[in-house]
Each structure stands twice: as structure tokens, then as C-alpha cells.
Amino acid sequence: MLDNIRDLYQEVVFDHNRNPRNFRVMENANRTVEGFNPLCGDKITLYVKIDDGIVSDVSFQGQGCAISTASASLMTDIVKGKSEAEAEHLFEVFHRITTSQDAAINLDELGKLAVLAGVRAYPARVKCATLAWHSLQAALKNQTSVTTE
Amino acid sequence: MSNYDVQALRRDFPLLHQSVHGKPLVYLDNAATAQKPQAVIDAIEHYYRQDNANIHRGVHTLSQRATDAYENARATVRRFLNAAGDKEIIFVRGATEAINLVAQSFGRTRLQAGDEVLITAMEHHANIVPWQMLREQLGIVLKVAPMNDAGELLMDEFAALIGPRTRLLAVTHMSNALGTINPVKRMVDLAHAQGVPVLLDGAQAVPHIPVDVQALDCDFYVFSGHKLYGPTGIGVLYGKQALLESMPPYQGGGDMIRRVTFDKTEYAGLPFKFEAGTPHIAGAIGLGAAIEYIASIGLTAIADHEHALLAYATEQALTIPGLRLIGTAAEKGGILSFVLERIHPHDVGTILDHCGIAVRAGHHCAMPVMDFFGVPATTRASFALYNTFEEVDVLMEGIREVVKVFG
């Protein structure tokens, strides 16, 4: 009945929504960002620990839809251990594949993030997928809050 | 009910007959905006094809026809609300603009620092933010009457909040997020007993409840055309004539003046004083056509049909495990707002869309209501005159599918 919706709601998304990774408060974070999507009310608090230019730890708390929770969970998994420059690059790649209809998707570069490329077909849901990433970018720029609208 | 032929009425709405994601469209987002009957589309088309001209100023034939059509629409609105006169009907862009007009024209000239405006816990942002802006401008105090867990106003607390500094009561006739219909006649009487004027936000109420502003005795009544099967960009401010006459203009420009020199301007009388610039002529004509269309069916018959749909939908929804209704007032209009355990409304909305079902998922421009119920958002199905019991069944199947997909 709902075959094509599985392009958006893949098993990986359900898995990360049910059991989000790195879903915790980080006491010793040196960057904390409050991310907010005023259109849908999704909220995220992103905790980042940066040591010598490396994202040594990243975690989050918040409430949102399955897409937003899974995206945040996947993001924390993939950026942990990356350099700030690598994390910034991943933000740009993710932003491009979720917002540009014709962007080629390099699956090797994206790894598990590729499951969220399906959100491109749902313009109303793109902000759900990008909230965590905008919060990460804000953390890299040493900002404390970000709003997507 | 037996005479209510919903299938015949559906044929009046061309938009309803289409597929979305390969499924027949089930349009249940009527509290956001209602679809338009052919009669409204025809009235707008006729105006643009035959009568288009500016109003109140041309001596030519088309201008006279356009003026007549626009003023006839005003008379239609006056009859619809049972206002005492056409001068009491001001065309605006929508309920939001009407409330802003009252806040800035009535509020800014009548209120002082420390004066109070009383609203309720179930208001739409359109009946919160204009008063907060006035608070910033004047230092007024905004008081909020509380509600219970069903989404019903606590009348004793409400009455106690009307005090010596209360200058205006501004309250929704029917909540867009919860469906609650407020006991507005009692509220008006309580406010008037202490000399407090009352604004009623009828954006949700007018498609469902016959409104008689003289019987209610409210001082202002506002609504939008597009939720009443009319066009967007047109709405109405009703105000008692003496009150409107005492208020300064909201915007300056053409059409609202009697005489202008560089030293001084003499304003036009009602209702033109509040209609600066060329108005949404086609919109007013379309709204008039919408009201005539509704009158041809009968608002009471429509309300009965919608209540039957709501009762059926409520009964069915409660059989779905993990579903919690948000808004369970004894007096409710055709709004079914709900949350599903561990499933976010946006996911519900996207999956229902794939079943061809249009619902609203979000905070419904009523974030304080969401905070009160401790939810970030709800899914809302809202019923109109053309919805069917079969569509309620499709909705319930869709919700069960959501629950299944999310396991």
C-alpha cells in the first residue's frame, strides 16, 4: 500500500528513531547549541566536545519527528572523530543532497547518511532532516543557537 | 439529516475530485482553509471577465457595476451576521488584520499603561500577538483566562479576571486547535456587566455556528473568508457603529477620505474610513457568493452533518491503541486533534498524505495550547460540509497504517 514512502522511512530511520545513538547530556561539552525549527516546533540541544580541532565527542537531546531524530542520531555517529574541517564538509554535502534535486549522491562519502537522501522528495520535511546539521554547523562556528525557517 | 445530500454537495466543489499519490483525495484540513464551490469560482471569474473596475470613484458603467457588486457583498455579510447596518461591516484581509485593526485603532487610543486586555488560554496567535505588540507600545497588561484538561474555559476563574482595569475581552468563539466552542453569550454578559467591551474571533466559528451579533451583543466580531468557502485575502470586521465611529482610522490613503489638503484631511464616514486603498473587490464578491451558497444549504443542516461526522470520528479514534485526543470539550465543533504514542505528528501527516489524506500536523498557530497539553504538536483532522463518513473510515485506516508502519 505504501511502498514509495519506504524511500523516506527506511529501516535505518526507524532504528535510529527508536534507539537514538548518543542521546544524552554531555557534561563536559565545550560547545552547546540550541536548535529550533519554529515551523514544526522541533527542538534539539546539541553537545559537542572539540579537542585540538577534532570532534572528540558529540551527543544530543530533544524532541522531534522520526526524520529529525534519526538524522541527529546518524549525524552524531558519523562526525565523531572527524576534524572540524571534515565535519564542515559533511554538513555541506548533506545540505546539498537534501535540498538540491539534481545533486549527485556519492554513497561512499555519505555512508549511512544516504538513507536520508529520500527527504528531497518531501520539501516540507527537509528542515526536519537538516536541523541537527545546522546545529552542528553553529557549534563549529562557536554559536549557541540556531533557527531554521 | 435525511435531506442532506453530501454527494450532491461534493459535486459543487471541483477540487475534491482528484487523486493524491494515486489515492482519492480526502481533504480534512478545513480548519486551515476550506475548498471553494463552483458558485464562488464563477462569481470571481464573472467579476474579472465582465465587471472589473475600481469602485466608489468612476462615473462609468463598469465602475458602477463593480461598486454595486462590492456593496451587495457587504449587505450579504450584514445579513449573515445580522448586524444592524452595512456601516458596521468593514472589509479587511482576514481575521488577523481585523484584530490588528482593533488593537491599533481602538486599543492604542483607549488604553493606557496598566490597563488590561483579557484573552483565554486557547487563543490562536492572531489573538495573542497583536495584544503583546500593544503591551510593548503602551505597557498594558495581558491577562489569560485558564482552561481545564478537556480544553474548556474555567468560567469562575474567567469571571474573576474581569476587573476594574479590564478594558477589553478578546476571545475565540471556537478554538482552532481544540474545537472547543466557548459560551460566548455568557462571557459577553459577564464582561458587559462590568462595562468591558468584547471582541469575538469567529474565524473557526462562522462556517459551523449561526452567528447573530445583535443577539450576542458583542462589540466586535471578526472572521476570514477563506475558512468559509470564500477566497483568501478577504475578511470582515464587524463593530458596533457608535464604537467604530469613535475610533481613528487604521491606515491612511485613498478611499478613506472626504477631503484632503496638505494642511488637513477630513476622513470619510463608515465603513470607508477603515478601507484605505483599493480593496480586494473580487474577494468581497467571492465571499458574498460563499455566504449565499452556505445559506442555500442552511448552516444548521451543515452543523448537524459536521457534528455527526465528529461524533463518529471520535468514537472510531478512541478504538485505536495509543491515540490520545487533544480537546474533549462537551461543546465542540468539527475538529479532531490527536497525538499517537511515540509517533510525531509530522510523521503522521506525511504518511497520511501518502494515503491521499490531507490533515494538519503542527502547533496550529497555538503554541501555548500545545505547551498546556505537554505536546510539541498534534495531528488535526477538521470537517467541512462536503466530508463523508466513508472519508472518516479512510482516515481511521490511515491512522492504523501509521501505527503499523511505526510498529
**pLDDT score recorded for residue A115:** 83
Counting residues of chain A whose pLDDT is more than 90, the rounded percentage is 58
Mean pLDDT estimate for chain B: 96
- What residues make up the domain containing B324? 6-30+299-406
Q: Tens digits of per-residue pLDDT, B339-369?
A: 999 999 999 999 999 999 999 998 889 999 9
Question: Once rounded to an integer, what is the mean pLDDT over residues B137-149?
Answer: 98
- Cis omega (within 30 of 0) on the bond before B37? no
Whole-complex ipTM: 0.88
Number of domains making up chain A: 1
Instruction: Compute CA distances B136 → A36, A143, B99, B108, B167, whole Å.
Output: 25, 29, 16, 11, 17
B361-385 per-position pLDDT tens digit: 988 899 999 999 999 899 999 999 9
Touching check for B363 and chain A: CB below 8 Å? yes
pLDDT digits (tens, 9 = 90+) for A42-80: 889 999 999 999 999 999 999 889 999 999 999 999 999
Q: Given the C-alpha cell 497520511, which residue does it identify?
A: B352
Segments in B12-151 forming alpha helices (H): 38-46, 61-81, 95-101, 108-110, 129-138
Among candidate residues B248, B279, B295, the one where a domain is terminated: B295
Tell me the CATH number at A128. Answer: 3.90.1010.10
A8 contacts on B by Cβ (under 8 Å): 350
CB B356 within 8 A of CB B21: yes
DSSP B182-202: P-HHHHHHHHHHTT--EEEE-
Q: What cell was used for A105?
A: 549522491
Is A98 within a domain?
yes
Distance between CA atoms of residues B235 and B42, nearest Å: 19
Domain-ending residue, one of B295, B329, B350: B295
Give the pLDDT band of residue A104 (cuts 50, 70, 90): low
B310 with B370, same domain: the answer is yes
Which of A41, A125, A128 lies closest to B363 in CB terms?
Answer: A41
Domain final residue, candidates B232, B265, B295:
B295
Residue B309 C-alpha cell reads as 461526522
Domain check: are B11 and B100 in the same one? no
CATH number at residue B359: 3.90.1150.10
Cβ contacts of A66 on chain B, cutoff 8 Å: 343-344, 347, 406
DSSP-assigned states of every residue in B118-172: EEETT--GGGTHHHHHHHHHH--EEEEE-B-TTS-B-HHHHHHH--TTEEEEEEE
The reply to whether B126 and B59 lie within a common domain is yes
Q: Is the dihedral of CA B198, B202, B203, B205 positive or negative?
A: positive
Asked whether residue B237 falls in the same domain as residue B383, the answer is no
Q: What is the mean pLDDT of residues B303-323?
A: 97
A39 found inside a domain: yes
Preferred mutation among B343, B344, B348, B354 to probe A, highest tally of A CBs within 10 A: B344
B193 and B307 together in one domain: no
Q: Would residue A147 count as lying in a domain?
A: no
pLDDT tens digits, B45-64: 999 999 999 998 778 999 99
Chain B interface includes A19 (CB < 8 A)? no
Closest CA in chain B for residue A39:
B362
A123 and A100 Cβ atoms separated by less than 8 Å = no
pLDDT at residue number A141 = 94
B365 is catalytic: yes
pLDDT at position A1: 44
Greater confidence, A114 or B251? B251
Closest by Cβ to B377, choosing from A4, A40, A66:
A40
Residues B112 and B232 in one domain: yes
Count of other CB atoms within 10 angstroms of residue A105: 14
* Contact between chains at B376 and A42 (C-beta distance less than 8 A): yes
Range of the structural domain that residue A30 is part of: 4-141
> Is 50 exceeded by the pLDDT of residue B401?
yes
Q: Is residue B35 in some structural domain? A: no
**In sequence order, what are the residues at sequence separation of 6 or more whose Cβ sits closer than 8 angstroms to the Cβ of residue B395?**
B26, B28, B313, B352, B357, B359, B381
Of all residues in chain B, what percent carry a pLDDT higher than 70?
100
CA distance B256 to B299: 34
B383 and B284 assigned to the same domain: no
A111 lies in some domain: yes
Q: Count H helices, E strands: chain B?
A: 15, 17
For residues A138 and A117, is the Cβ–Cβ distance under 8 A?
no
In a domain, B36, yes or no: no
| Cell 509517533 found at | B343
Predicted confidence band of residue A111 (pLDDT cuts 50, 70, 90):
confident
- B16 and B148 share one domain: no
Cβ atoms of A131 and A37 closer than 8 Å: yes
**pLDDT attached to residue B281:** 98
Give the total number of structural domains in chain B: 2
Give the SS3 label for residue B61.
helix
How far is the C-alpha of B250 from the C-alpha of B146, rounded, in Å?
Answer: 31
Bridge partners of B106, per DSSP, are none
CA dist list (Å): B358 to A36, A103, B8, B258, B379:
25, 30, 22, 48, 10
pLDDT of residue A3: 64
Which of A8, A9, A65 is the best substitution to test chain B (most B C-beta atoms within 10 A)? A65
Q: Is residue B1 part of a domain?
A: no
Residue B326 lies in a domain: yes
Residue A148 pLDDT level (bands cut at 50, 70, 90): confident
Are the beta carbons of B347 and A9 separated by less than 8 Å?
Answer: yes
Confidence of residue B3 (pLDDT cuts 50, 70, 90): confident
Residue B92: strand, helix, or coil: strand
Q: Kindly indicate the confidence band of residue B257, based on its pLDDT and cuts at 50, 70 and 90.
A: confident
pLDDT category of residue A2 using cuts at 50, 70 and 90: low
Residues B148, B209 share a domain: yes
For the cut 50, the answer to whether the pLDDT of residue A138 exceeds it is yes
How is chain A classified by DSSP, letter by letter?
Answer: --TGGGGTS-HHHHHHHHS-TTBS--TT-SEEEEEEETTTTEEEEEEEEEETTEEEEEEEEEE--HHHHHHHHHHHHHHTT-BHHHHHHHHHHHHHHHH-TT----HHHHGGGGGGGGGGG-GGGHHHHHHHHHHHHHHHTT-SEEE--
Helices (H), B253-344: 281-297, 299-317
Are residues B340 and B390 located together in one domain of the fold? yes
Are the C-beta atoms of residues B219 and B243 closer than 8 Å to each other? Answer: yes
State whether B268 and B176 are in the same domain: yes
Instruction: Please indicate if any CB of chain B lies within 8 Å of the CB of A125.
Output: yes
Co-location of B185 and B276 in the same domain? yes
